[in-house]
Structure 1
Amino acid sequence: MKRIITTLSLSALLIGCTTQIKESDFIAQDESTIAYSKTFINDLNDRTPNHDVKPITLNVEDESIELNGLHLDNNKTTKTILYIPGNGMSVEDAAKNALINLAQYQFDIVIFDRRGLGATKGKASITNLIKDANLSYQFTKGQLGASTLIVHGFSLGSFVAAQVAKQQPIDGLIMEGSATNITEWVDEAMPWYTKVLFDVQVDKAFYTVDNKKVLQDTYKGPLLVIGGGKDEQTPIALTHGLFSASQSQNKQLVIADEAGHNNMFENEDVRTAYQTFLSHL
């Protein structure tokens, strides 16, 4: 987001204009989708020896959409992490690092490619991201039999995760590389000197997902907020603001001071905090 705003700011500074952030432009889409290969599944199985990697499909019946994903099944537990990736992050992208990091905690892991990304056809919008995430929750509880279900959202996925927490009885919420809301995100990302020179107009859809409001007004359950001290996409001030807004009596904030947006789990404090959070659920 900050890179987008910075580019817009420089352009507008030169010409003076009103700039729009459109939902259709912001949410990344693949040019084509492709099914998971046997090589990919076998490689992920090799890298997660305590889990059995199983492709899964969730039918969105009223729209003839099939969400494709993976269930990393640890046969010693039914406690589950539902992982909601960031913008443009497919299941295969997540398998490079995120799923490997999460697999060390010995929980089941469920992840789906959203519409128009990875192995799932269609076109994503904020509305159907939220709809599909709620269906993913119901599928994980009902079809996969999760006894405890933690929702972990990364970056844009954290906004979707918060909406699941708002609507479903989840057992814990993890927000990684997250922000408060679109208004504060844009305000934090824009250089001060550009604010008097041009106006940023944001699609109304972005205002329907407000992490700060969810944590203030609705979700009071266990919460772990993870931030990167050098994260340029979700500035650390927003991470602190998100944590402060939470009314939960069981909340924890952990900051990887040296981390950017994509490498927070390289920090030992983050890994330890994650383990502690899960062990208390």
Structure 2
Amino acid sequence: MRTTLLFAGLALLAGCKTITVEERHIIRPDALSGKAPKQRLDMPGVEELELARPDGAVLKGVLLQKPGAKLTVLYFGGNLFHLDDAGDKVAAALAPCDVNLAMVDYRGYGRSSGTPTVANMTDDALATFDYLNQRYPDAVAVHGQSLGSFVAAQVARQRNVAGLVLESTTTNARDMVNGSIPWYFKPFIQVSLAPSLQAIDNTDVVSHVQAPTLVLTGDADKDTPPALALKVFDALPSRHKRFLLTRGAGHNDVLSNPATAGALCPFLRDPAML
């Protein structure tokens, strides 16, 4: 969202009152952000995953299998997530939960080729879920953090997932953009969203999700404030749902907070028990 803030500043300097936010301002693959993996994930039991997509893009990721695991978690990271940079931290956080863990770089990020859009990120996520669900029938849960929470919610809407975890989530793209603009800019700026971004609405998507759901958020999260995560939670129709506010956690450290495991692991062991 730093790009959005920059545009806001430029808009003020130019005397403009409207900024237009496109997909490329929110979805920041390596070619735009200059980011790239710093290392190669090397952990015991890692199996390489590779999915060829119809348009020629190749998705690459890893599957960490745990002996005796009854559930497989498909994890979708936030923007700029690279499994080679942060995958070990996700694995460490989920290790006590005794689950298999699958992580795949979004197209255009890290190991995966191609150019990401809102539409093909959802299609890629569905294809990845279908692959894992064939391998572990009816035993795949999806977990999404920040940007990944929108992806995970779309999968849960369109597939029968074993469970859904939404971490550091928010309502829609407009709220996400508005939340990145300092209050002192807001009187001078109107935000115009690209049509594909206008269509993003997590509260609408989750209103169609019946799967057991755990919503995780930090009380110190300034990027996706807890009040917006609570709106997503309230939109869930499932009787099996829980909202966890982690004290002292910000936007990117909810999963690593020791207090989170106390709710996450029991949920992953038996989502229907919420």
**CA–CA distance in structure 1, aligned partners of residues 265 and 96 of structure 2:** 9
- The alpha-carbon deviation at position 191 of structure 1 amounts to 4.2
Partner of 2:234: 244
Q: CA deviation at 1:265?
A: 2.6
What TM-score does the superposition give when structure 2 sets the normalisation length?
0.89
Query: Which residue identity is paired with 1:56?
Result: L
TM-score scaled to structure 1, two decimals? 0.87
Structure 1: segments with no counterpart, 5+ residues: 46-51
1:133 Cα deviation (Å)?
Answer: 0.1
Alignment of 1:59-208 (within 5 A): 59-60=52-53, 62-142=54-134, 144-208=135-199
Q: Report which stretch shifted further, 178-187 or 85-94.
A: 178-187
Counterpart residue number, 2:222: 232
Counterpart CA distance in 1 for 2:179 and 2:106 is 28
Does the aligned pair in 2 maintain the 1:78–1:147 contact within 8 Å? no
CA contact (8 A) 2:96 2:265 kept: no
The answer to whether structure 1 residue 9 and structure 2 residue 5 are counterparts is: no
Q: Give 1:54 deviation, angstroms.
A: 0.6
Pick one of 252, 258, 261 that aligns with 2:251: 261
Secondary structure at the counterpart of residue 275 of structure 1: helix
Residues 76 and 145, structure 2, Cα contact 8 Å, conserved in 1: yes
Could you tell me which of 206, 212, 224 is aligned with 1:215? 206
Aligned alpha-carbon RMSD (Å): 2.3
In the alignment, what sits opposite 1:23?
23
Is the contact between residue 93 and residue 256 of structure 2 (CA under 8 Å) also seen in structure 1? no
| Whole-angstrom CA distance in 2 between matches of 1:194 and 1:175 | 30
Task: Indicate how the Cα distance of structure 1 residues 100 and 213 shifts in structure 2: closer, same or farther if over 3 A, else same.
Answer: same
Distance in 2, matches of 1:202 and 1:105, equals: 39
TM-superposition CA deviations, 1:133-181 (whole Å, max 9, x none): 0000000011x32541110001101101111111101111100011011
CA distance in structure 1 between the aligned counterparts of 2:19 and 2:109, rounded to whole angstroms = 27
Contact 1:33 1:116 in 2 (8 A): no
- Per-residue CA deviations over 1:66-111 (Å, capped at 9, x if unaligned) read 2111010113124100001111101112224112211221101111
Structure 2: give runs of 5+ residues left out of the alignment.
Answer: none
